Structure 1
Amino acid sequence: MDRLQNIETFVRVAQTQSFAEAARQLRVAKSVVTTRVRQLEDYLGGPLFHRSTRVVRLSELGQAYLRDCTELVGRANDIVDQMREVRGTPAGSLRVHALTGLVLGHFGSLLREFQAAYPEIRLDLIVSDAVVDPVQAGVDCALQIFPAASTELISRPLFPVRRVFCATPKYLRAHGTPKEPRDLHEHRLGLYSGYPTRDRWTFHREGQQFTMYLNAPLLTNSVHLLREYALEHAGIVCVPTLVAGEAILRGDLKIVLPAHQLSSFWLSAVYAETSRNAFKLKLFIEHIAAEFNRVPPWDAALIERKLMPQGLIEE
């Protein structure tokens, strides 16, 4: 019996609350997971889980040992990573979940440079706008603008995600340019449906703030679709500058209500404290932090052209 391997399997089942999901994440058959847990239970002399056809719950014995087992697995993985660090050749797989709006247009060169620096690390990048718990999803890290789903997760802020209302000059000539936030009610709007603030929008100007609710005829979880919608002269949209920045600099889109700032979210790396790939994850996060600092390049260009204020309003 590989006791450490069995303990790691127990921890994975407890975190995912599923033998099948644990098997998928560990890339073994479900029967292998069942056998490993049973071997550990036989060694301890009691059940670690209460099982039914739909629910997997920790037993009293499992609850008593889960924290220590989680720390043990994390420490064991740290030791292996440190040994690889001494050799100077970090290797293995790293699974990352990232927002679509982040990776399209800004991530290709970053990935190329990371792989050039660490050629033996295999990246498995899942791209979607879904909000995930990295443990439940079986990834080492989630790059997202949403708060961590659990207090047991670590959230490291990387850079701010600014949002602006914008439209094409052609649309604004035809329908007028809003002077105050309430003027947005008179326009066809396209809004992102997944912000934590939902339909509530708060505008900041000269130390004052104004909150209102907006009803948009177009809601979508794709910020890229919103940009294309605006470029078709269809209406005013609210999109992150990391998606609209180039179009604004070209003059294809114009920022609406530039003196009324929206609060910014932070793109954060969310991961478990006991990540199996802590060393490789640290290298990846540091690489992102170095590439996109607290004023990412798409914002720096807009600020330099005085198209957007330098000050940041944080959510």
Structure 2
Amino acid sequence: MDKIETMRAFVAVAQDQSFTAAGRRLGLSTKLVSKYVQHLESQLKTQLFNRTTRSVSLTDVGAAYLERCRPILEQMDELDDLVRERQGALSGPIRLTAPTGFGSTRLTEALIPFLQAHPEVELDMKLTDHRVALVEEGLDLAIRISVLRDSALIARKLADMPLVLCASPDYLNRAGRPRSPEALPTHTCLVNSNQQEPNIWRFHKAGREHVVRLHGAVTSNSPGALAQMAIGGLGIAMSPFYPVEAALADGRLERVLPDHATDLFGVYALYPPNRHLTRRLRALIDYLAGELGPFKLPE
């Protein structure tokens, strides 16, 4: 039994804490994954996992082995990548994560021509509105929309992403149109709970910063869900431009306080600094930098 394949099975089980999920990740049966891990444990003469009917967790030895397995497998992948790169055509896997709404719309639209042009590239895209640890999850690349925080990851900005304050005409006709940021706490505000300070909104006008603290707001970790709530007349949303672009264009939403500037988000590609950036990853990042955006608010 191939040692590298048993190590890959072990790492997948450790990442997913499940033999079944690891099998799905690797395209193998649960029984075969279990057989690989058992063979590895037999070779090492030690137990790598604590197993119960409900959970799978690493032993102390298993955790130490995992830490040393990952760089070995990464080096093996880099060797494979080197051979592929010498052959000319882009090929091999790209494991990518992105926000659900953006990933299923604008990002997917941009990816389709790239994948059609490079049919030997194998894309594994994990969409989630939660932050994902790239190394621990075995991912190559993250697409994130935010104000970039300090990070151990290498980041490249792909596009600017305006934030827009907006609400439906129906809501504004009922509740009134706020004339200043200070009026917002009297309104129902729809807040993205993924933000670093979700209940604080910042505005800028004539060199002055307005900081608004919100209370009793409706919250969600999905910008797309907040956009739909705003369209449905539930309140005022501070949204990245992409999920509200169409509704602003056709009048289902209108901008609120358009004379006050909001913070500017960016669309970023992030990847681990200690991982070899393959030619296919470099090509994808360069391609997305040319295809995404510009995202411009309506006048």
Taking only the aligned residue pairs, the percentage that are identical comes to 31
Aligned residues of 1:73 and 1:274 also touching (Cα < 8 A): no
Task: Tell whether 2:295 aligns with 1:298.
Answer: yes
Equivalenced residues, count:
297
Q: CA 1:34–1:135 in structure 2 vs 1: closer, same or farther (change >3 Å)?
A: farther
Q: CA 1:152–1:180 in structure 2 vs 1: closer, same or farther (change >3 Å)?
A: closer
Q: Report the counterpart of residue 311 of structure 1 in structure 2.
A: none
Task: Tell whether 2:140 aligns with 1:143.
Answer: no
Aligned residues of 1:14 and 1:58 also touching (Cα < 8 A): no
- The one-letter code sitting in structure 2 at the alignment partner of 1:220 is S
Aligned residues of 1:81 and 1:277 also touching (Cα < 8 A): no
Task: Tell whether 2:58 aligns with 1:57.
Answer: yes
CA distance in 1, matches of 2:10, 2:276: 14
Structure 2 unaligned regions, length at least 5:
none
1:76: Cα distance to partner?
A: 1.2
CA distance in 1, matches of 2:155, 2:30: 31
CA distance in 1, matches of 2:230, 2:199: 19
Aligned residues of 2:81 and 2:92 also touching (Cα < 8 A): no
Aligned residues of 1:203 and 1:211 also touching (Cα < 8 A): yes
CA distance in 2, matches of 1:106, 1:50: 41
CA distance in 2, matches of 1:229, 1:42: 55
- How do residues 170-209 of structure 1 correspond to structure 2 at under 5 angstroms? 172=172, 175-209=175-209
Q: What SS is found at the alignment partner of 2:238?
A: strand
Aligned residues of 2:160 and 2:295 also touching (Cα < 8 A): no
- How do residues 86-97 of structure 1 correspond to structure 2 at under 5 angstroms? 86-97=86-97
Q: Report the counterpart of residue 132 of structure 2 in structure 1.
A: 132
Deviates more, 1:269-278 or 1:195-204: 269-278
CA distance in 1, matches of 2:46, 2:161: 47
Aligned residues of 1:71 and 1:274 also touching (Cα < 8 A): no
Q: Report the counterpart of residue 310 of structure 1 in structure 2.
A: none
1:81: Cα distance to partner?
A: 1.6
CA distance in 1, matches of 2:251, 2:196: 30
1:131: Cα distance to partner?
A: 3.6
Aligned residues of 1:7 and 1:69 also touching (Cα < 8 A): yes
Q: So what's the TM-score if we normalise by structure 1?
A: 0.74
Deviates more, 1:261-270 or 1:239-248: 261-270
Q: Report the counterpart of residue 8 of structure 2 in structure 1.
A: 8
1:109: Cα distance to partner?
A: 3.6
Q: CA 1:156–1:31 in structure 2 vs 1: closer, same or farther (change >3 Å)?
A: farther
Q: CA 1:274–1:6 in structure 2 vs 1: closer, same or farther (change >3 Å)?
A: farther
Q: Report the counterpart of residue 212 of structure 2 in structure 1.
A: 212
Q: CA 1:173–1:29 in structure 2 vs 1: closer, same or farther (change >3 Å)?
A: closer
Q: Report the counterpart of residue 224 of structure 1 in structure 2.
A: 224
Q: Report the counterpart of residue 46 of structure 2 in structure 1.
A: 47
Structure 1 vs Structure 2 CA RMSD: 3.7
